Structure 1
Amino acid sequence: MQAEPTTSLVGEEYEVEIGPVAHGGHCIARTAEGQVLFVRHALPGERVVARVTEGEEGARFLRADAVRILEASKDRIEAPCPFAGPGRCGGCDWQHAKPGAQRRLKADVLAEQLRRLAGLTPEEAGWDGTVVPAEGDKLPAGEVPQWRTRVQYAVDAEGHAGLRRHRSHEVERIDHCMIAAPGVSELGIEKHEWAGMESVEAIAATGSQDRQVILTPRPGGRLPLVELDKPVSVMRVDEKAGGVHRVHGRPFVRERADGRTHRVGAGGFWQVHPKAADTLVTAVMQGLLPRKGEMALDLYCGVGLFAGALADRLGDKGAVLGIESGKRAVEDARHNLADFPRVRIEQGKVESVLPRTGITEVDLIVLDPPRAGAGRDTVKHLASLRARRIAYVACDPAALARDLGYFGESGYRVRMLRAFDLFPMTHHVECVAILEPAAKGS
């Protein structure tokens, strides 16, 4: 039997009252008929005209943009970026909200995810309910912190650099990005043509003058003549093999955090906000309170930021095992931690490598998993190691809450949780949760 054709509702407009914020940079509303809308560019309590951007009749929900504001929230401001708004650049979700309101929205999302997925109130999670701005980011409404030290520009068919529109491959041409760090802006990526390129990533390291541009060509694309406004190393990504080829300059940048310099190879992960690495290391170490001579794990360890911080505090008799799946990151981590003889870095997925180590007990664990989280099986294994404290670093509230629920099932409780606004203007929030074994009978 042939399925009946569905009718697209894209372009339809509804006058709605905006409800609570939801995870993902939008708010929830309902039409007069009860249809759920996920509405961007709106704020709770507003009355708006919402235009559907995705969805069809019979869908569980529709996506929409607020195209006219009928009754505005007191937290609304004019978006400072000329490229923000319905149908424009998708990089910033909350340009239209005051800075304090942005943090309250993120706190509301985190609290809702904790309640729904982990069964925890803020008080039970040891959280004061606030999202804290990074040092220097607490600015008046209308002023934008220039925090993004790594910007990946998309390139359109004519070779112009821009940023992707929300949930789209279309490129919004820009002449500058307001949240880009000065070291990125000074490269002038938007002023140059990038014919044949799929994307251009610009990196401005923190704590050094290192600058890097990584070019990803379209199939058959040839490397353009690169003449940027500042001296910079240029890399080319092989789209078939995924290899990175140096054109000129260093194949890495030097990032500074926790009093140490870290080599980060082309395409390697490093926190984007210039204050993020130090902020997170401080939160993790204050939560774990490492003791001399202890044994620690650093899982999803990247280039060794937390492993180095642990090794420095555990002393000559302490030991750290780091596990990381990325080959280049492992090479960098081993280089960065070469002066710590009791640090070992293993390459592979955590769920595969950790069981092979034969480790049955540790004192401390740090895990900073990808956006999807660690998952039930990995959490269960970690809980079996009986660490006295575990630090969980998370960039996604839903994944964090799910994994905290799994830890709860495995006998651990959340001692403390802190939330940091390391991605201003966006819906993203970074969290550090400190866990410890639950008291018997609790």
Structure 2
Amino acid sequence: MNGKPDWTGRLLEVEVGPVAHGGHCVARYEGRVVFVRHALPGEVVVAEVTEDGGGGFCRADAVEVRTAAPGRVAPPCPLADMARGRDRCGGCDWQHASGETQRELKSAVVTEQLKRIAGIDLPVRVRELPGGLLRWRTRARVAVDRGGRAGFRAHRSHRVVPAEDCPITVAEAIQDVTSRRWRPGSEVEVAADSADQVHVTAHDRRRGGRRVSRQVRGSGVAHEEAAGRTWELAAQGFWQVHVAAADTFAAVVSRMAAAPEGGVAWDLYGGVGLFAAGLAEQVGPTGSVLLVESSRRAVEDAVSNLRDLPQVEFRAGTAEDVVRDEGLPSPDVVVLDPPRKGAGREVAEAVCAHRPSRIVHVACDPAALARDVGLFVEGGYRLVEIEAFDAFPMTHHVECIALLERVDQP
């Protein structure tokens, strides 16, 4: 025995405190921190401890509400019902909160992360995207249990919770998958595009851990409409999952970037070219845009999508590798849309060394955003503006677009 407490399975009555990053709220019990899911600030709940490593905190799920907060609502999905206990789907964090409450919680998280990590006191308001809280998700990954039933994993677990539907996912994208049996232990990716085509790809794990993918439905090439253009890309490649996100984000990035005519712009982690298209229009035929993307298939799609914009140059490689190229022309503006972990110090320092007038940072994780913003501030920039969007309703995720400007420019 190591003498550390193990409360796993215990029921604790706690008064719920503030929201924290990650889809839970903070409570305290007998001097320890309890991270409680499926609760809201100000509530009194009975929480069952689900994980306890014996340190200063443990994790728990609310299983009974003694005093409810005004923003609590009945979850629209039966897999999020409190009566299911640990057998709840782990995909959604806030189905028990109204839309307004969800956005308030996310606003608080973004504001707190900026202050705690980057030392920036800037209140942030998360805005709603068109379409409401349900049927917004066009892409999803579904797990398959040992019986061949499709579903979603429980929170912080590999266990599959079988599902018939997912109310945040567009109906035509999910019901065809959940209504049939699959190879046990496989995963299924589904994507519904702007042309009303559904693409389904199964990923099977064979002996020796080898992954075999097969196209089950659709051509595997998605057709999207956004930013006044038509896009073709691998159906399982990266595209914004919210039906209204691509248009909205492209407009905000272009406004913040304001690349000068004849200027130079970088689009790091550029995907299939959504942001590069707007930058190319701004710099015009006498300017240049460098699109950097690590996925070779995405670069191939970007070349095809932007073939009418010869001012765009494409580099297949990691941002870390490309920005070290001393022969690159220094940009007037840099747009970054890194993965969830953020850009990191190496990329941030390389960008700052080129001294662009503006940096536009797109982030889907508030903590990663705050870390990157802090690095840019160290490098001589100031945070001017943040626009935040509830691009992932019912979950704790939030999309932020930040504008930074060089401090020493006129």
Fold match by TM threshold 0.5: yes
CA-to-aligned-CA distance 1:250-281 (integer Å, 9 cap, x gap):
23111111011222214211100011011111
What's the secondary structure of 1:19's corresponding residue? Answer: coil
Superposed, which structure 2 residues align to 1:44-63 within 5 Å? 44-57=41-54, 59-63=55-59
* Structure 1 residues 266 and 220: alpha-carbon distance in aligned structure 2, compared to 1, 3 A threshold: farther
**2:379 aligned partner:** 410
CA distance in 1, matches of 2:53, 2:331: 52
**1:110 aligned partner:** 110
In the TM superposition, what is the alpha-carbon distance from 1:5 to its structure 2 partner?
A: 7.3
In the TM superposition, what is the alpha-carbon distance from 1:314 to its structure 2 partner?
A: 2.0
CA-to-aligned-CA distance 1:325-383 (integer Å, 9 cap, x gap):
11211111112122211211111111111212522521111000111111122111101
**1:344 aligned partner:** 313
**2:189 aligned partner:** 201
**2:35 aligned partner:** 38
Residue identity opposite 1:176 in structure 2 = D
* Structure 1 residues 360 and 421: alpha-carbon distance in aligned structure 2, compared to 1, 3 A threshold: same
Residue identity opposite 1:200 in structure 2 = V
Residue identity opposite 1:322 in structure 2 = L
Is residue 130 of structure 2 the alignment partner of residue 135 of structure 1? yes
In the TM superposition, what is the alpha-carbon distance from 1:209 to its structure 2 partner?
A: 2.4
Is residue 319 of structure 2 the alignment partner of residue 321 of structure 1? no
Contact 1:149–1:183 (Cα < 8 Å) also in 2 = no
Residue identity opposite 2:200 in structure 1 = V
Is residue 210 of structure 2 the alignment partner of residue 212 of structure 1? no
Residue identity opposite 1:256 in structure 2 = E
Residue identity opposite 1:372 in structure 2 = K
CA-to-aligned-CA distance 1:75-132 (integer Å, 9 cap, x gap):
111111111044200111000011100000000000100100111111xxxx6x3110
Contact 1:163–1:173 (Cα < 8 Å) also in 2 = yes
Contact 1:47–1:72 (Cα < 8 Å) also in 2 = yes
What's the secondary structure of 1:423's corresponding residue? Answer: coil
Residue identity opposite 2:71 in structure 1 = D
**2:26 aligned partner:** 28
In the TM superposition, what is the alpha-carbon distance from 1:198 to its structure 2 partner?
A: 1.0
Contact 1:334–1:345 (Cα < 8 Å) also in 2 = yes
Extract structure 1 runs of 4+ deviating beyond 4 A: 242-249
CA distance in 2, matches of 1:263, 1:293: 28
Contact 2:260–2:332 (Cα < 8 Å) also in 1 = no
Q: Which runs of 5+ in 1 are unaligned?
A: 138-143, 222-238
* Structure 1 residues 249 and 149: alpha-carbon distance in aligned structure 2, compared to 1, 3 A threshold: closer
Contact 1:244–1:266 (Cα < 8 Å) also in 2 = no
**2:92 aligned partner:** 92
Superposed, which structure 2 residues align to 1:289-328 within 5 Å? 289-328=258-297
CA-to-aligned-CA distance 1:282-305 (integer Å, 9 cap, x gap):
111111223321110000111111
Aligned residues: 406
* Structure 1 residues 245 and 75: alpha-carbon distance in aligned structure 2, compared to 1, 3 A threshold: closer
CA distance in 1, matches of 2:15, 2:344: 37
CA distance in 1, matches of 2:327, 2:204: 44
Q: Which runs of 5+ in 2 are unaligned?
A: none
What's the secondary structure of 2:324's corresponding residue? Answer: helix
Output the aligned Cα RMSD.
2.0
**2:369 aligned partner:** 400
Contact 1:75–1:101 (Cα < 8 Å) also in 2 = yes
**1:101 aligned partner:** 101
In the TM superposition, what is the alpha-carbon distance from 1:4 to its structure 2 partner?
A: 3.5
CA distance in 2, matches of 1:56, 1:243: 37
* Structure 1 residues 248 and 47: alpha-carbon distance in aligned structure 2, compared to 1, 3 A threshold: closer
What's the secondary structure of 1:192's corresponding residue? Answer: coil
* Deviation larger for 410-419 or 352-361: 352-361
In the TM superposition, what is the alpha-carbon distance from 1:56 to its structure 2 partner?
A: 3.7
In the TM superposition, what is the alpha-carbon distance from 1:210 to its structure 2 partner?
A: 2.5
Contact 2:13–2:46 (Cα < 8 Å) also in 1 = yes
CA distance in 1, matches of 2:4, 2:127: 45
Residue identity opposite 2:317 in structure 1 = G
* Structure 1 residues 194 and 170: alpha-carbon distance in aligned structure 2, compared to 1, 3 A threshold: same
In the TM superposition, what is the alpha-carbon distance from 1:387 to its structure 2 partner?
A: 1.1
Contact 1:184–1:202 (Cα < 8 Å) also in 2 = yes
Quick one: which of 348, 352, 355 aligns to 1:386?
355
TM-score, structure 2 length as denominator? 0.94
Superposed, which structure 2 residues align to 1:139-218 within 5 Å? 144-185=133-174, 187-196=175-184, 198-205=186-193, 207-218=194-205
Identity of aligned residues (%): 47
Quick one: which of 215, 238, 242 aligns to 1:273?
242
CA distance in 2, matches of 1:364, 1:267: 30
Contact 1:196–1:218 (Cα < 8 Å) also in 2 = no
CA distance in 1, matches of 2:362, 2:178: 34
CA distance in 1, matches of 2:353, 2:280: 23
CA distance in 2, matches of 1:294, 1:41: 49
* Structure 1 residues 244 and 262: alpha-carbon distance in aligned structure 2, compared to 1, 3 A threshold: farther
CA distance in 2, matches of 1:360, 1:109: 37
